Structure 1
Amino acid sequence: MKNPENISEVAKLQPDYMGFIFYEKTPRNFDAEIPEIPSAIKKTGVFVNEEIKVILEKVKTHDLNAVQLHGDETAAFCAELKTLLIETPVEIIKVFSVKDDFDFERLEEYEAVVDYFLFDTKGKNKGGNGITFNWEILKEYPSEKPFFLSGGIGPEEVEEIKKLKAYFQQNAKENLLYAIDVNSKFEEQPGFKNVEKLSAFTKRL
């Protein structure tokens, strides 16, 4: 999100999370003040290979509730950040880029130092590529840690999302598919969301 008025309009839909990207190399980079939104919405700062001191500064300045790490951050980096945020209830979400396959063993060292994983489509950009990856591989997900599903999700993916959710429910893992992360398929321009499309999507989901 970028535009204050658009942020306020989207907030009326009461999403669980709302993302603000602090990465200068993207047109979605957020460099304003977040308007007042309902406290139930978790303000999420998105960072790409950023220094810990900068992340902590943004958490304090914008009163962030979650941090999404979208770069090559190591488990040690996440552990240090978690320790420094111990006095603040800030969730840590670690992103992994996926295409046609994925080595789930990569997740093991992050298990104890992040709150959620997020699976996004591997592409030329650090997110916002507008394409989905092969969701079938998530049926091999070995972890008990809940995850966000991201990557090119739009209205046409609703039925596939429901099928994936049903799969986890049938296998007694209904809480693993924790959240759906949407972005580019609902944009009129970078960082500016179409509220009507988001509303219709939410109702269908």
Structure 2
Amino acid sequence: MTTAAPAPAPEPRLSSHLNIKVCGMKYAANITEVAALGPDFMGFIFYDQSRRHARPELQAEQVRALPASIQRVGVFVNETTERIQQHVAEYGLNLVQLHGAETPAQCAELQAAGIPVSKAFAVGAEFDFRQLEPYAAHCTYFLFDTKGELPGGNGTTFDWQILEHYRLPVPYFLAGGLSLAHADALRRLRLPGLFALDLNSCFETAPGRKDVPLLTEMFRLLRP
């Protein structure tokens, strides 16, 4: 088995703007255009049931060639630790995002292998924050997405004010149907633990192909 040697994930940056992740990338020219906008994170989905599944279009060399300022995130759903490690090594991933029913034990296993973990949780009308506690010691980040039929990319938002009750020390990404219409509210959003915004399905011309002018405007509004 190929052993992973990922670059360390960045320390949470408490800056004047929220960090931005653009997720669901797969096409070479589109990756280059989006990278030029300067996102903090770029996500690549390695889940074969997703319409944004990165393979076979995605080339490992292009992911590795991204600027060091952009953290490379691999998104997995109920994948084995061995396969995740293989992807980390092949694509030079800095962070893995687990978007399925992964256990705290698997997060700890990846952490012990030197792989930073972001564990995603689906949020509905209510959310029991106690379920996060077994994961907290083994995750660099959490990600909160809208509960829906798919593991992610449902294109709908949840009530962000639920996160006012968040009390754990793990910083998190806010995902779930974020669009240009939310830019002003997101820029003014003040929630405990909020670290980054995850932009995906509402900024596409087709699954996996990002609308660069739309993203450009979103970046301008979020980073005045």
The answer to whether the Cα contact below 8 Å between 2:179 and 2:203 also exists between their aligned partners in 1 is yes
Matched, 1:110 2:135: yes
Structure 2 regions of 5+ residues with no counterpart? 1-24
The answer to whether the Cα contact below 8 Å between 2:136 and 2:170 also exists between their aligned partners in 1 is yes
Residue in structure 2 matched with residue 140 of structure 1 by the alignment: 165
Residue in structure 2 matched with residue 96 of structure 1 by the alignment: 121
Residue in structure 2 matched with residue 33 of structure 1 by the alignment: 59
Structure 1 regions of 5+ residues with no counterpart? none
The secondary structure found in structure 1 opposite 2:122 is strand
Deviation at 1:40, TM superposition (A): 1.0
Deviation at 1:126, TM superposition (A): 1.0
The secondary structure found in structure 2 opposite 1:143 is coil
Correspondent of 1:177 among 178, 184, 194: 194
Partners of 1:58 and 1:80 lie apart in 2 by 15
Matched, 1:9 2:30: no
Matched, 1:18 2:47: no
The secondary structure found in structure 2 opposite 1:6 is helix
Partners of 1:158 and 1:189 lie apart in 2 by 21
- Cα offsets for 1:66-87 (capped at 9, x unmatched): 10000000101100111122xx
- Cα offsets for 1:141-160 (capped at 9, x unmatched): 12121110000000111222
What letter corresponds to residue 161 of structure 1 in structure 2?
L
Residue in structure 2 matched with residue 50 of structure 1 by the alignment: 79
What letter corresponds to residue 67 of structure 1 in structure 2?
V
Deviation at 1:136, TM superposition (A): 1.2
What is the root-mean-square deviation of aligned Cα atoms in Å? Answer: 1.0
The answer to whether the Cα contact below 8 Å between 1:65 and 1:91 also exists between their aligned partners in 2 is yes
TM-score of the pair, normalised by structure 2: 0.84
Greater RCO, 1 or 2 (C-alpha within 8 Å, sep 6+): 2
The secondary structure found in structure 1 opposite 2:107 is helix
Partners of 2:187 and 2:41 lie apart in 1 by 20
Residue in structure 1 matched with residue 212 of structure 2 by the alignment: 195
Residue in structure 2 matched with residue 128 of structure 1 by the alignment: 153
Correspondent of 2:180 among 155, 159, 164: 155
The answer to whether the Cα contact below 8 Å between 2:110 and 2:116 also exists between their aligned partners in 1 is no
Deviation at 1:129, TM superposition (A): 0.5
Matched, 1:66 2:90: no
- Cα offsets for 1:111-148 (capped at 9, x unmatched): 10000010000101111110001111111112121110
Please say which of residues 137-146 and 179-188 is displaced more in the overlay: 137-146
What letter corresponds to residue 6 of structure 1 in structure 2?
N
Partners of 2:178 and 2:166 lie apart in 1 by 20
Deviation at 1:202, TM superposition (A): 0.9
Partners of 2:137 and 2:124 lie apart in 1 by 25
The secondary structure found in structure 1 opposite 2:138 is coil
